[in-house]
Amino acid sequence: MTTLVTRPEAVVEPPEEAHGPSGLVKWITSTDHKVIGRSYTITAFLFFLVAGSMAIIIRTQLASPDNTIVSQHVYNELFTMHGSVMLYLFAGPFAFGGLANFIVPLQIGAPDMAFPRLNALSYWLYLSGGIIMLLGFVTTSGAADFGWVAYAPLSNSINTPGAGPDMWIVALVLTGFSAIFTGVNICATVFYLRAPGLTMFRMSIFTWNMLVTAILILIAFPVLTAALVMLWCDRHIGSHIFTVAGGGVPVLWQNLFWFFGHPEVYILALPYFGAVTDVLAVFSRKPVFGYKGMIFATIAIAALSTSVWAHHMFTTGTVLLPFFSIMSYLIAVPTGIKFFNWIGTMWRGSITFNTPMLFAVGFLVVFLFGGVTGIFLASPPVDFAMHDTYFVVAHFHEVLFGTVVFGGFSALTYWYPKYTGRMLNDFLGKISFWLMFIGFWVTFVPQYLLGEAGMPRRIAEYLPNMGWTTLNRVSTAGAYMLFLSVAVMLVNFVEAWRRPIPAGDNPWDAHTLEWATSSPPPHHNFYWIPPIRSERPVWDHYHPEHPVEREHPPRTGGDEVAAARSTARPDSRAQFGSAATARGSVNPEGPSHEPRAAGDPGDDHEGQS
């Protein structure tokens, strides 16, 4: 650990840009976390489009009773693959593969992930796993059709024979290992590669949440992998772990699966919680309210999430209901803390509504309702009434779509300038947001009502006299709106690619270290790192006269502020003032690796270790 004294100012010429390979060769051979992060993001987004298209077919099939757009078999494949692709190939990898890979090293001032080659391996395992899963569609048996949860004994070789389900298992093992490696990598990176001065309680909430997510991955994914190996053995070498006939216990699968499956829900949610927290703070021009409370809430959610898995099994009649019920209820407490902290962050702020902020506020609004209905389902008697109906479908889509898509789009539009050096079109972004926000309610509120009216999930058709037709039609119309919203977002990406609007280093007047370097960052990320005296080093640098007000100032007695003040240069503040208000303003000095203080990244890390 180096000392907290300001580094002496020295001029460092930025070296020539990396003259490594480019194009396809770069993509395949790179171990740079930014290249891998970008590959992850693009790949995951493509899987999102694939799985979203499946959802559109599913909704079209359900728009009319006794519909025959697809056969029952194809329908079963579609909802299985929709769930599997969304959860295993999009939601998780988009967060811990894409965002975390790209952003976490930048936020902690590191030149790369701790294990760059392991990182590349993760990506290639993930990509091959994803392709293998989708290739199931071209086998003679069709893709896996036992639901994304693959309950035994439906998933054995008698009930679902064929290569498609086997490929599903292999794909999950591969992507599971990819996730585990990424988890190891994120933990090691956060623990060992933080820049000098960046203590644990000066990390951004996003990095904190990614760390907790990575730990959850290490808890949850090995269990899934083990369960999948058992399933494979049942299918191919005649073990009877999950079949009654051979003395096995089918319900064991549900326990193992949900021991992975429930932490998985938080593996998907926490990264987006973190991203949204950062976005809310930046666009309110305020620090995160209740910063430490936020971190403890994240840790509490992660801890509780490992002891609530059986709330998916209330109707099995094999679990202790009150225990899993109260544990599930308790998750509402840290989640509530987060909500009030999010509101506190906006409270008395000075809020601008650029696209990332809109998606972040949209996330708050929709996730709240998904969370409240989650409380209902944590009550076993209510779960008896609602389990496996569309109420549950609406609930988990509201929480997952709320976090992964609203939170994900917030994160994507927020960090897009850092990824590419270009701004997205704010107007198109807002159109996309409003289509999605309205489409979201139109899609999922009818599904709550359908669940209350008793429509079970995963049915390919229903009788016309059940009274479910109108609600299904409305829900389908909402799904088309969501599709349109994503299409507008795609147009926005294409626009940004065809007519680039250069983004400065720090277009949002943001707080964290990734905005101290150029957009996109140079090969080893930083030529210069501002002094780190709080969780907002970049803000402190640009606004030294507006540090965080603390009710209990740290024991160092305020010289941190003085230090920040002394290092900040007036000219940089002036330059910043224009960049803050005018979206997409260009840094007049070009990509600013204007040297302010000494230090090349390698140097920093030697100091750490």
Partner 1 sequence: MPPRRRAHAKAFGRRGPILVLVGLALAAGGCTYPTFGASHGADVQGQEIGKLYSGMFMAGLVVAAIVWGLIAWSVFRYRRKKHDNSIPRQFQEHIPLEITYTILPLVIVIIIFAFTVITENEVDAVSKRPAQTVDVTGYQWGWIFSYQNANGLTLRTQGAVRSFPAAKGYTADVYPQLVLPEGRPTKIVLRSADVVHEFYVHAFNFGRFAQPGVTNVFEFTPVQTGVFPAQCSEYCGLYHSEMLFSVRVVAYPRYESWLRYQEHHLNQIPKHYPLTQR
Token pair for residue 305?
Answer: 């999430």
Task: Go through 527-550 and write b for each residue having 16 or more CB atoms within 10 A of its CB, e for each that does not.
Answer: bbbbbbbbbbbbbbbbbbeebbee
Three-class HEC string of 88-106: HHHHHHHHHHHHHHHHHHH
How many angstroms separate the CA atoms of 259 and 253, rounded? 10
Of 447, 580, 583, 587, the one binding partner 1 (CB under 8 A) is 580
| Inter-residue contact 180 to 222 (CB < 8 Å) | yes
Of the residues 141, 352, 585, 608, which one makes contact with partner 1 according to CB under 8 A:
352
Q: How far is CA 388 from CA 62, 392, 456, in A?
A: 17, 6, 6
For partner 1, which is the closer residue by CB, 153 or 196?
153
| Alpha-carbon dihedral sign for residues 122, 125, 129, 131 | positive
Q: Find the shortest distance in angstroms from Cβ 231 to partner 1.
A: 14
Q: Which is nearer to partner 1, 389 or 472 (CB)?
A: 389
**Is the CB of 29 or the CB of 72 nearer to partner 1?**
72
Least distance from partner 1 to the Cβ atom of residue 429, Å: 17
Q: How far is the CB of 491 from partner 1 (least distance, A)?
A: 27
Candidates 161, 238, 246, 381; binder of partner 1 (CB under 8 A) is 381
121: its two tokens? 């391996």
Report the site for partner 1 in 94-123 (rule: CB under 8 A).
Answer: none
Interaction with partner 1 in 386-405: which residues (CB under 8 A)? 386-389
Tell me: does residue 72 bind partner 1 (CB under 8 A): yes
Cβ atoms of 342 and 280 within 8 Å: the answer is yes
Q: Encoding tokens for residue 352?
A: 């601008």
Report the SS3 class of residue 456: strand
Which range binds partner 1 by CB under 8 A, 19-27, 121-129, 146-154, 588-596?
Answer: 146-154
What is the per-residue binding string for partner 1 in 220-259, x denoting contact by CB under 8 A? -----------------------xx----xxx--------
Give min distance, CB of 564 to partner 1, in A. Answer: 13
Q: What residues does 502 pair with on adjacent strands?
A: 422
Site map (CB under 8 A) of partner 1, residues 297-336, x = contact: ------------------xxxx--xx--xx--xx-xx--x
Binding footprint of partner 1, residue count (CB under 8 A):
98
**Residue 436 interacts with partner 1 (CB under 8 A): yes or no:** no
Measuring CA to CA, which residue among 368, 382, 378, 376 is closest to residue 441?
A: 368
Instruction: Give the burial class of 4: count Cβ atoms within 10 A of its Cβ; 0-12 exposed, 13-18 middle, 19 or more buried.
Output: middle
Please tell me the distance from the alpha carbon of residue 245 to that of residue 447, in angstroms, as a whole number: 38
Q: Does 61 bind partner 1 (CB under 8 A)?
A: no
Cβ 44 to partner 1 shortest distance, Å: 26
Identity of the residue, 210 or 393, whose beta carbon is nearer to partner 1 in the bound complex: 393
Of the candidate residues 29, 68, 159, 556, the single one contacting partner 1 (CB under 8 A): 159
